[in-house]
Amino acid sequence: MSTPLPRRVGLIGWGAIGRVVGGALAAGRVPGAELVCVTDNRPLGDSAPVPQYTVEQALDHCDLVVEAAGQGVVREWGEAVLASGTDLLVASTGALSDDDLAKRLLHTGPGRVYFTGGAVGGLDLLQAVRAMGPLDEVRLTTTKLPATLEQPWMDAELLTRMRSATGPVEVMAGTARDVPVKFPKSANVAASVALAAGDPDAVRVSVVADPAARHTSHVIEAIGAHGTYRFEVRHLPDSANPATSQVVPYAVLRSLAALAGRTGQIL
């Protein structure tokens, strides 16, 4: 049996997530995957270990593009990447709150689209349970430091409540369709849970600001005809970007390893 060629990877984004992912790829820590180029909206100079290309140039050199730069990149470039025949791994799953975009990504080819679970676990089990029948109830409660949740749309009263809070304050309650739009850098988990559950309108989400939240917390609760499920994770925020968790780039690397054919993976 011949050895498969390594996946030629282009990375969009050289921030808190991209630097960890790119550094690991460049160091050869993902067998079967080779970092070919990096795309970013800032000149990177010598800070990246591979050439900096535009997205169009990257599509000429790569067979897999990793998005690590935010929902806007998924909206602007997702379909073009897939239409070129290049596979796409999406970290900013919050973009899927746009139904039309989600449908286009899932039906555009010949490239294939994949999504990483990011900062939350249990999604594989929820997808398996869903195959037995719809879930009756799915809830997600996300708790973060107040400063990481501040948004331009918030009024003075809400901002004051968050900044002066001595305990947990619910900032927003809604569905997994509503919340990622309002918190584009902090609510990819809500969209990922919706992807696993199969319906963003059926996932109820509560976003909580807590000045004592040393860890970012995500609690998923699901009830269905075949069982009851509860997953809770607590992560340290990333020091360079407190809106995301330290584990996120490593979740991306795990997904990359699976796409590159690493054996021994839990799928």
Domains contained in the chain, CATH given: 7-117+247-259 (3.40.50.720), 123-235 (3.30.360.10)
Task: Please identify every stretch of the chain with a pLDDT value under 50, giving residue numbers as ranges.
Answer: 1
Instruction: Give one word for 32, left, alpha or beta, with left for phi > 0 and alpha for psi -120 to 50.
Output: left
Looking at the annotation, which residues are catalytic?
A: 218
pLDDT at 185: 76
8 Å CB contact between 88 and 76: no
pLDDT at 3: 57
pLDDT at 172: 94
Amino acid at 242: P
Number of C-beta neighbours around residue 186 at 10 A: 23
Residue 180: φ, ψ to 5° = -60, -30
CA distances from 251 to 21, 63, 70, 262 (A): 9, 20, 16, 14
Q: For the chain, first and last CA: distance in Å?
A: 23
